[in-house]
Amino acid sequence: EDDDEEKQPAADDDAGGMIVECRYNGCSGYAYVFKTATAAQCELCNHWTCVSCKACHESQSCAQYNGIDVPEESAAPEPMVSKNERRGLNREQKSNSAGSSEPGGYISGSRKILGKLIGSFGSGTVEEPPQHMPQSGRSAGDYQLHPGAVSGARGHTQSKKVQETARTNGESSRSPNQVTGIPLCDACFVRKFDHIAQECEHALCRECILKHLEKATVYGGMSCPARTDSKPCIGLLQEEELNQTVTPGTLKKLRKKSDWCDSKCFDKRCSHAFRRKKGVQSFICPMCRRQNCAECQAVHVGMTCEQYIEKFVADLDSGELENPEEKKKRFQEQIALYERPSIQTTEEFECSICLVEVESGKGLVLKNCHHQICEQCLADTAKNSPVAEVLCPCKSGDADCEMPVLDSELRACLSEVDYAALQERGLREAENTSKEPSFHCKTPDCKGWCLHGRDVEVFDCPVCAQQNCLRCEAIHKDMSCADYQADLKRRAENDAAARASLNFLEEMLKTEQAMRCPQCRVVIIKRSGCDFMVCTSCKTQLCWATKGARWGPGGQGDTSGGCRCGVGGVKCHPKCTTCH
């Protein structure tokens, strides 16, 4: 009331207590109480001082003293609740409260609480309150939260013992319910509980359930937010329990489909399939209740990821994991997997090429490099590949992956038309780059060709079914080579266009303005540029100065053949410009 009143001095010997000066008719007495107490009884005059109002109003409650109209009686204190009695307590609370015959007010509640505390601690007495103790504006339930609120004056050793023992008991007990008598949440110990978990029978409030649900890593039921013996409770709250305590709108928001992905327990003895939240590092399997590490894809309780990897590598090196039956089983699984034409993805993933979330079954795991890629990106890579051999477009660290994509994987993502075009491109490339003697069918527009030995003289084309003469490089069915060559000369005399073309090429070769590729015998004409050339047909590297191959039969770098330019510091030809 008075602004100039001095603050109550703090207790010297107990940080949890305080000294309250008596406000009755100028009495100089005082009392020592908990800091959470609402009233204190003076040791000298035995009158009660209200801590909140800093006044002595024994015949009035706080509300009446301050001129506030309130009902005459407050709610009766709620009964003590044990864990085994919690089932059905939600239905019983209203009937227990309505049917109680206990008198209202916080004095009766405080007397009962202090009586229970004294009885449980074995000795000591508590001063009886006077007949006309004021009724506080607070309910008895509010007062029960503070055991030992009313105690003796400073220096009362027995009251001090009760306070210390109650505080110690409250810290060591499993739940404040055992001290206060109010059924509180077993997770936060602050709010009144709203639900009893069916599996573990923990009392939980809606706020703790919702807060824990926001952190849930497994779709469906969630783990209990309470703790048992300083460890997280392994009990689960089922889906129907969540529907009873969380609003449908909130539950739908937390269960957004794009936030979850398919998964399974990494314990081989369990392998339970379920959905988990994307991006989580660890989760608890709802079936076996074991902690799974998403990063290591393993169960390594009690070990960090680094420790598990070190142990796993050490076990592999020592052969401890080489169980013959397990090894045989894994080998059979790998064989069965690789015998499939292609391996479909079994989980949602982000394609590293288009950066789009790909649904399960819409991507491929490439067998050679194990990269995951969506079917569309792989198809586009195959259609735009400059060569017939399609390479994986993914990255291996900072470098491009150079592993080839298998034909069966290309067939799985390409249409029939695109796959046929890729096959045709591959045939043309194989013909042009072959280092063995090859021959293309002489039937106009036929795509057939073959690789042949030096003694082979006839090629039966499997595409057009025509017989080709490799010696004459022509088709002359039912004619000998001599008859065909004689007939060719006769026709050339009457075909001016054929004769002109033949004469032009022969003249270019004769004057060294053209050369034949030593590999595929295609005529190559040089218009400008340096002496280094590449055959457009078979990609063989050529030396224009010597009119031959640049390298030996071993390919690039082989100086056992070719022009041998620069070997021993000698040019390959007097006209060589050493540009190759």
pLDDT along the chain (580 residues), means of 10: 42 62 83 80 84 82 70 46 46 41 43 47 40 36 34 34 36 43 82 87 89 80 80 81 83 78 87 85 84 88 88 79 74 80 87 89 89 92 88 87 90 90 86 80 86 79 88 78 70 65 72 81 68 77 86 84 83 76
pLDDT given for residue 392 in this prediction: 92
**What domains sit in the chain, N to C, each tagged with a CATH number?**
17-180 (no CATH), 195-318 (no CATH), 340-426 (3.30.40.10), 437-491 (no CATH), 519-580 (no CATH)
Sequence letter at residue 164: E
Q: How far apart are CA 394 and CA 388, in angstroms?
A: 18
Q: What is the dihedral of CA 60, 63, 67, 73, to 10 degrees?
A: -70
Token code pair at residue 156: 């009362």
Give the residue among 341, 344, 342 at the shortest CA–CA distance from 361: 344
CB atoms within 10 A of CB 407: 15
Contacts (Cβ under 8 Å, ≥6 apart) of 367: 338, 343, 406, 409
pLDDT given for residue 580 in this prediction: 66
Q: What is the DSSP letter of 524?
A: E
Q: Alpha helix locations (H) across 404-511? A: 407-413, 416-433, 481-494, 496-510
pLDDT given for residue 536 in this prediction: 65
Q: How far apart are CA 340 and CA 185, in angstroms?
A: 55
Token code pair at residue 284: 């608890």
pLDDT given for residue 379 in this prediction: 92
pLDDT given for residue 458 in this prediction: 86
pLDDT given for residue 176 in this prediction: 45
pLDDT given for residue 548 in this prediction: 86
Token code pair at residue 72: 């005459």
Report the SS3 class of residue 252: helix
pLDDT given for residue 405 in this prediction: 92
Contacts (Cβ under 8 Å, ≥6 apart) of 480: none
Q: Which are the catalytic amino acids?
A: 530
Sequence letter at residue 405: V
Token code pair at residue 562: 């070719």
Q: How far apart are CA 103 and CA 162, in angstroms?
A: 25
In this structure, is the dihedral angle defined by the CA atoms of residues 8, 12, 14 and 16, taken in order, positive or negative? positive
pLDDT given for residue 175 in this prediction: 44
